[in-house]
Amino acid sequence: MTTFLRLTIFGLVTGGIYAVAATGLVVTYTTSGIFNFAHGAIGMLAAFLYWELHVNHGIPTLVSLALVLLVFAPLAGALLERTLIRPLHGAPFATTIVVTVGILAGCLGLAQQIWKPGAPRVVEEFFPAEGFHVAGVFVSWHRAITLLIAAATVVALRHLLHHSRAGITMRAVVDDRDLTSLSGVAPTRPSALSWAIGSSLAALAGILIAPLITLDVVLLTLLVIDAYAAAVVGRLRSLPLTFIGAMILGLAQSHGSYWLPKAFPGDRFPDWLPGFTDSLPVILLFVALLALPEARLRGARAVRAVTGRVPSVRHAAAGALLLTGVAWAGAGFMTGQDVQRVGEGVALGLIGLSLVPLTGFAGQVSLCPFAFAGLGAVAMSKVGGGGSWVGLLVAMAVPAAVGALVALPALRLQGLYLALSTLAFAVLVDYMVFPQASLFRTSITLERPDLFGLSLQSDRAWFVVLAAAYGLAAVFVVWLRRGRLGRRLVAMRDSPVGCAMTGMSLTRTKLVVFALSAAMAGLGGAMLAAMKVSISAKSFTALGGLTVLLIAVIGGIETASGPLLGGLALAGMTILAQEAPALGWVPAVGPAVAAIVLARQRDGVAAVLGGLARNVVGRRRGRAPTTPDPLTALDGSWPVGQALEPARVRALDGLFGIDDGLCAAESAR
């Protein structure tokens, strides 16, 4: 009985911390309409700052708490809302996700630059070694205070949102921003206030949980991310349900970690057991998502005009040949280490390319491309140790089958809930699948296959093969977009209800695109593993999947060249940090800077470069720069009546352009 009570108390305390973090997440989402994936990273930064002030510099506890919770956290939240979140009003859902993911990556990099990993850091509990007994179980004041703070937070926030003018205004801004403006209320102020409150609650959760675990950058971030499950139990709206979900989560973790191992005799624990207890938050998240009512089909959305167009397959093939030639020529001028780094960037771009049909064309946001990439690498290693071209086919087939299975429960979800379900799958694979001894053991080594007797064992040779593989995959994406399936994907993204009314099977279309995307990610993962030669279970993490989405959207999620540009940019920052140690901070702040740019330039780097290239060529030929015409095609594509570009400009489009629609000439044809 004592053990049960102790586990229950510990579970309630953990649930209280989850409740504080989850309620902050609900506040920001309810009042701004944007899900903050960087919520845990903000809490992590606050915990480290509290340690720096209180432990490292000896500032009293109350003063340190005031500086972190009342100064740093609210200012950080308001600044993020002003610089990044406010420009995202009306932005595509994938863009809003990637901006907050960029903030997350930037916070992680910044923390690792300031507080070097490996150094022991300990934060003491409030009133250490003091407390009271409940039925023979000692309860520290820190744990008791945590529970009281959690309950008070839920009550105070519910009163704020439902019974105060400021809270009602914050919710009204999300419901109808323009109507709220007409009532004389500046919509920017409630949004800034909600982000300041949400950041303070994230900071409070980070400080409360820091004394109970090791002060680690990644661990703290992931622990607060576990609060996503509690927020979804409350459907991102109900604070009482969020509190209940947090308590269920805390109790399940506390009791599960103790009682589950006792269900197995001796010490014969299965490999998945430790991962299962760690995965309880995402399992609860997945169950909560499946319990949600099926999302209603939405009608047509407003379509923005763009200036690019879909290149022909012939021009895309010319771009692929050019990419392969540049890789072959450039490999001779790079050092072996640079070839390795750039090759990894191209492979990451290939994995990111798998999101173009799924997210760019179909509008289905997936956060698990790295999970499919890891499955592809493992599948290839099982066929001749990787030294077989058949292994690449298997590396595509296995993830495709798994992708179709993952799509089945996701068919009833849309938008944020779909993204969270794929994130839950990625974390489950991290914790329960990849650690299996039959898959990775400690690490696996992949051999590179030969091509018609030509050895591809050198890094330079495989780098050229990687570039050629990306080119072929890009040509396939262009061919797909110009075909019937591509038009179906764009139509499904723009108006699912319209597609359903015409008799189009949305279920079959989603299954096909999920399987296709997973197959492409598996191919990229296998080729990335062959480039690295040796990989482990830590090579394909859920956070890595967020990075893949980040580089794909920044480069251009609707273009065949965008993911490549994003991967090369990431590789370039890594090389720069290695060559110039004084610039080691560049990879740390690079994602955050990219997120700031993306908040204002939503089309990605590829679209910008494509527009610049067309304008330069147009000026040389005495033409005015290309500008969007108000009369665009129905899917927001090439302006109606505008002449096609010369052959040289179309070749540039083959390198830089796939937009979200076919040109009017093609549609007429």
| Domain residue limits, the chain | 2-291, 313-655
| 429 touches 368 (CB < 8 A) | yes
What average pLDDT does the segment 548-563 reach? Answer: 85
Among residues 22, 1, 5, 19, which one has the least CA distance to residue 420?
22
Residue 72 is predicted with a pLDDT of: 94
Give the pLDDT of residue 347: 92
pLDDT digits (tens, 9 = 90+) for 142-157: 888 888 988 888 888 8
Strands (DSSP E) contained in 198-309 are: none
Angstrom distances, CA of residue 232 to CA of 28, 83, 287: 14, 27, 10
Categorize the per-residue pLDDT at 665 as very low, low, confident or very high, splitting at 50, 70 and 90: very low
Closest CA to 303 of 633, 554, 604: 633
- Locus of tokens 């990431």: 570
CA 300/CA 298 separation, integer angstroms = 7
Identify the pLDDT of residue 6: 86
- Quick one: which H or E segment has residue 233? helix 227-233
From residue 367, alpha-carbon distances to 94, 235, 271, 447, 578 in Å are 10, 20, 25, 29, 29
pLDDT at residue number 134: 82
- The answer to whether 521 touches 379, Cβ cutoff 8 Å, is no
pLDDT of residue 233: 85
d(CA 557, CA 572): 20
Helix (H, G, I), strand (E, B) or coil at 138: strand
158 and 24 in contact (C-beta within 8 Å)?
Answer: no
Kindly report, residue by residue over 6-45, the tens digit of the pLDDT.
Answer: 888 888 888 888 888 888 888 888 777 788 888 888 999 9
For residue 530, pLDDT over 60 is answered with yes
Collect all residues with Cβ–Cβ distance below 8 Å to 156 and sequence separation of at least 6: none
Q: Are 230 and 153 spatial neighbours (Cβ–Cβ below 8 Å)?
A: no
Bigger pLDDT: 465 vs 451: 465
Please provide the distance, in angstroms rounded to a whole number, between the alpha carbons at the two ends of the chain: 77
Which of 54-63, 403-412, 616-625 holds the top average pLDDT? 54-63
| Angle separating helix axes 239-259 and 280-291, nearest 10 degrees | 140
Average pLDDT of 310-319?
Answer: 86
pTM of the model: 0.82
Say yes or no to pLDDT of 652 above 70.
no
Report CA-CA distances (Å) from 191 to 33, 196, 627: 10, 9, 34
- Residue among 45, 390, 424 at smallest CA distance from 202: 45
Report the chain's mean pLDDT, rounded to a whole number. 79
pLDDT tens-digit series, residues 179-189? 556 565 666 67
Q: What is the pLDDT of residue 600?
A: 62
**Mean pLDDT of all residues in 359-384:** 87
At residue 222, does pLDDT exceed 80? no
Task: Please give the Cα distance from 617 to 490 (Å, whole number).
Answer: 30
In sequence order, the 6+-apart residues with CB closer than 8 A to the CB of 558 are 356, 360, 361, 603, 604, 607, 658, 659, 660
Using the 8-state DSSP alphabet, how is residue 210 labeled?
Answer: G
| Pairing state between β 444-445 and 137-140 | unpaired
Given CA atoms 446, 451, 455, 458 in this order, what sign does their dihedral have? Answer: negative
pLDDT average, residue stretch 180-207? 79
* CA nearest neighbour of 520 among 364, 402, 348, 400: 400
Q: With a cut of 60, say whether residue 635 has pLDDT above it.
A: no
The residue ranking higher by pLDDT, 664 or 213, is 213
pLDDT of residue 617: 61
DSSP state of 384: G
pLDDT at 607: 64
Whether the per-residue pLDDT at 516 is higher than 90: the answer is yes
Token pair 């064309």 in the structure block, residue: 361
- Is residue 473 within 8 A of residue 523, CB to CB? The reply is yes
pLDDT tens digits, one per residue of 375-432? 998 888 888 666 778 888 999 999 999 999 888 876 778 788 888 888 888 888 888 8
Mean pLDDT of 248-259: 84
- pLDDT band of residue 639 (cuts 50, 70, 90) is very low
Q: How far is it, in rounded angstroms, from Cα 234 to Cα 247? A: 12
- Per-residue pLDDT at 349 exceeds 60: yes
pLDDT at residue 304 in the model: 46
Q: Which residue did the predictor score with more confidence, 99 or 617?
A: 99
Q: Which CATH class, in words, describes the domain spanning 2-291?
A: mainly alpha
Characterize the bridge pairing of strands 137-140 and 131-134: antiparallel
pLDDT at 669: 38
Strands (E), 418-547: 444-445, 534-535
What size, in residues, is the chain? 669
At 664 the pLDDT is 36
The CA distance from 227 to 21, in Å, is 6
Average pLDDT over residues 191-197: 86
Per-residue pLDDT band at 662 (split at 50, 70, 90): very low
Return the DSSP state at 51: H
pLDDT > 90: what percent of the chain?
17
475 has pLDDT over 90: yes
Q: What is the pLDDT confidence band of residue 517, given thresholds at 50, 70 and 90? A: very high
Please tell me the distance from the alpha carbon of residue 558 to that of residue 602, in angstroms, as a whole number.
Answer: 11
Q: pLDDT digits over 443-464, tens only?
A: 777 778 877 767 778 888 889 9
Higher pLDDT, 570 or 598: 570
Residue 10 structure tokens = 């510990």
The reported pLDDT for the residue numbered 458 is: 86
